[in-house]
Structure 1
């Protein structure tokens, strides 16, 4: 028999998370997310909307409840309601929902200055709501809005309220840190004080992230005895958001062996990316568990350590979340980083060639260029395609392109230790560059080969700052040959390909 304590996870992305500034899910998006949360991520419950918001919200709730009713999830679908003489309950019934999360006042300050009522007046109205809900077959959970301030400033009121609720047919009492003001210590002490007094009541803890303490507070709430946590995908929510699902789940699984949860870690990343796309709120690259960079080793020493008994691994393995460890390529890269990426591509280099490729990647990283695994074959071909002595060097150049004027180039070039500088115009920047080179070669009484093909490509899936490979095919009286150039700028990559050509014909 398991000695673990079962913790419920309630996801409120579709209700509280939708309060993120500028976010509004469509009915089809809500349904898609709801299905993923319950069927794939396997959270215990989802809060999907606030009652009475709009006709569109009503239809979205109806779509979710229709699906949930047909798939045995209807008891896991919850709607935020209000103390409003049954208006919210009627809205729920028409929408097909069966569980209400009734919003009430958890601090005397809110009760006095917002509702302008006494505790007894408030409790009487709540009693009427709960009784009506029971008559209509609606399950009631109760939110104590501003509960955290209530515990700080009007604790007697909070316990008077809890005593009243303990006599009512309420399934869950929800303790929200509405303004995200609690410290981890307070989260523990406040929840423990309540749970010690009412051990048989079910309490949810709802953390916000205003001080970036959402995960810490949620964990302390669980440690103090909370029976459930409210979380959101990607930490979405009003202001700084709510306690994020991915980080909180990872912490519980790794540091709280006495707690059992049903969430499927393997799909956390997939669900997070879908919500990112639907909401338009981008996941920060360094967001724990789900950020783009969090399983990427950049420093070469770390990649080397991973090759030696996984010295830089922790329990936070990317495979747990359906992800893979990556080894970034840049100015901090060492040979170990590059070898890891080469292995994934099925490529091998000898030590000497690996040194050359490493040096080239460091040079690119110093220019702040993003280097990806997909760039590697291009970098290798660029670096290793140097089977000549460097007799020609393009020292510097100025490329100009102005509206209404022909593009022009000024080039400084060294050929066999003799330096030349020429200026020329052309139909484009590269054409102007070639005309300037022709001027130099006329002085040297040398003929340039004809350019017969010019191809540009970037690695698949790359972005606008990707490395660009230019492949130029040349033909002279003797042969046809190709040279490659690599740079993030297309014209510069063509110039590098041309420099290789110049060295080939002068060797």
Structure 2
């Protein structure tokens, strides 16, 4: 069977911008438009609604100016209205050449919103299309609320399509405006239309209110749809539109008779740029472009990947310019850790690997995922035990209140003898140190002086990252350093101090 080439129209800059609180600047629109056409290689882009604002007009001018210079002008489209030529004048000023004319695809919308008869509506549409043709503007037509039209007023829809078949229209667009139809309806409705009008070009425009956008797209394509409207990250009004990334992956993997020209390798790059410009964060578990979708967390999965890629599928991260990662947390096994060590160029013997694995599991109970960048810090912390553990900090309470000095109550065991002490200080850690000094005074021991205190987190980490505290101590003989590691800065300093206490006791 010969492959059918499907047109992909990206409407992130128009329908996607209807996402609540999203507004792209003119420069952002131009940057995204260039990426969509030049790098992602979609067939067409819808970039704005006519008559919205002066800022929108300038944004469209910028895009059309660039598009004209680079032979993309015929791929740039603008949503217009049946408004006696006002939208046409706006388009001429903006330099656009393709209008996507919004019309009523259900009798319910026509009767209650426009309060007009089909004949009146068709005559006004014909006049608008004729005016556009005179001005050198190509016309595509949206049948707004088409899905409900097919459900509730099918005779009207086919009357409308019969009228459009006589008009100089390049594409007829079938939107599930409210995101309400099922995959079966998507197939049945499109099939019925394509069977009656096999030579007309129909675009399918899915919304995602029931999370059926991609499934509906698949069925519309099976039924013969000629084009799709998609958005980056599934942006759009309410629950958004059918997402570009998932749809392209599904077509490429499960629809061998369908061909699209979209460059998969660029999907993630464009996705992250749109995330930055829009301020709408990509969910971590969003297919293809989410942060976690190519991350194995369970140790058994990492082990399986090392044995003939048992947990791989056709959805390989390299297709989208990404890499597979192995999370470090309480579900990690040695296989996860070994995968990360390989990436860092590190090797551990079996005993050290066991210790590091146990430490990561312990940290995972407090911090959901430990990053690869944390790993050298954890190794340093775990393997920095060249002493017999004779001092143990059992528990402590750290208090900090406005207007009161910080205080600490601490319990420690020294050579199997347990002590409790309370003290105040200039800060929580200072209060902790004062309590420890008081305990060691009872044993006629003097603590070394603290001469340097450095806190750092792994590069690229966030506020919940593991924190390494390195403290330099000085006693009568020499200077020495101890390290502590924890997601809490004060706790990591306490752990570094516990190591110091063991060193001086030993």
- Decide whether the 8 Å contact of 1:370 with 1:466 is kept in 2: no
Task: Tell me how far apart the structure 1 counterparts of residues 438 and 130 of structure 2 sit (CA, whole Å).
Answer: 95
Does residue 107 of the first structure (1) align with residue 124 of the second (2)? no
Q: Which residue is 1:339 aligned to?
A: 338
1:411 is displaced (CA, Å) by 1.2
Post-superposition Cα deviations, 1:353-396, rounded to whole Å, max 9, x if no partner, equal: 01100100100111235411100000000000011111110111
Does residue 500 of the first structure (1) align with residue 485 of the second (2)? no
- Decide whether the 8 Å contact of 1:369 with 1:465 is kept in 2: no
Task: Tell me how far apart the structure 2 counterparts of residues 120 and 104 of structure 1 sit (CA, whole Å).
Answer: 13
- Decide whether the 8 Å contact of 2:367 with 2:487 is kept in 1: no
Task: Tell me how far apart the structure 2 counterparts of residues 355 and 13 of structure 1 sit (CA, whole Å).
Answer: 49
Task: Tell me how far apart the structure 2 counterparts of residues 506 and 454 of structure 1 sit (CA, whole Å).
Answer: 21
Task: Tell me how far apart the structure 2 counterparts of residues 94 and 368 of structure 1 sit (CA, whole Å).
Answer: 56
Post-superposition Cα deviations, 1:304-340, rounded to whole Å, max 9, x if no partner, equal: 1000110000000111111111111111000011111
Task: Tell me how far apart the structure 2 counterparts of residues 480 and 15 of structure 1 sit (CA, whole Å).
Answer: 64
- Decide whether the 8 Å contact of 1:369 with 1:488 is kept in 2: no
TM-score by length of 2: 0.99
Q: Which residue is 2:297 aligned to?
A: 298
Specify whether residues 408 and 369 from structure 1 end up closer, same or farther in structure 2 by C-alpha distance, changes over 3 A only.
Answer: farther
- 1:321-400 equivalences under 5 Å are 321-400=320-399
Q: Which residue is 1:456 aligned to?
A: 455
Specify whether residues 428 and 336 from structure 1 end up closer, same or farther in structure 2 by C-alpha distance, changes over 3 A only.
Answer: same
Superposition CA RMSD, Å: 1.0
- Decide whether the 8 Å contact of 1:140 with 1:171 is kept in 2: yes
Task: Tell me how far apart the structure 2 counterparts of residues 150 and 378 of structure 1 sit (CA, whole Å).
Answer: 62
1:168 aligned counterpart, secondary structure = coil
Task: Tell me how far apart the structure 2 counterparts of residues 357 and 257 of structure 1 sit (CA, whole Å).
Answer: 47
1:302 aligned counterpart, secondary structure = helix
1:479 is displaced (CA, Å) by 2.4
1:112 is displaced (CA, Å) by 1.2
Post-superposition Cα deviations, 1:56-106, rounded to whole Å, max 9, x if no partner, equal: 111111111000000000000000111111111111011100000011111
1:240 aligned counterpart, secondary structure = coil
Q: Which residue is 1:406 aligned to?
A: 405
1:292 is displaced (CA, Å) by 0.7
- 1:12-161 equivalences under 5 Å are 12-161=11-160
Task: Tell me how far apart the structure 2 counterparts of residues 35 and 233 of structure 1 sit (CA, whole Å).
Answer: 14
Q: Which residue is 2:245 aligned to?
A: 246
- Decide whether the 8 Å contact of 1:234 with 1:283 is kept in 2: yes
Q: Which residue is 1:437 aligned to?
A: 436
1:163 is displaced (CA, Å) by 0.9
1:427 aligned counterpart, secondary structure = coil
Paired positions, count = 506
Q: Which residue is 1:204 aligned to?
A: 203
TM-score by length of 1: 0.99
Q: Which runs of 4+ in 1 moved over 4 A?
A: none
Task: Tell me how far apart the structure 1 counterparts of residues 422 and 472 of structure 2 sit (CA, whole Å).
Answer: 25
Unaligned runs of at least 5 residues, structure 2: none
1:443 is displaced (CA, Å) by 1.0
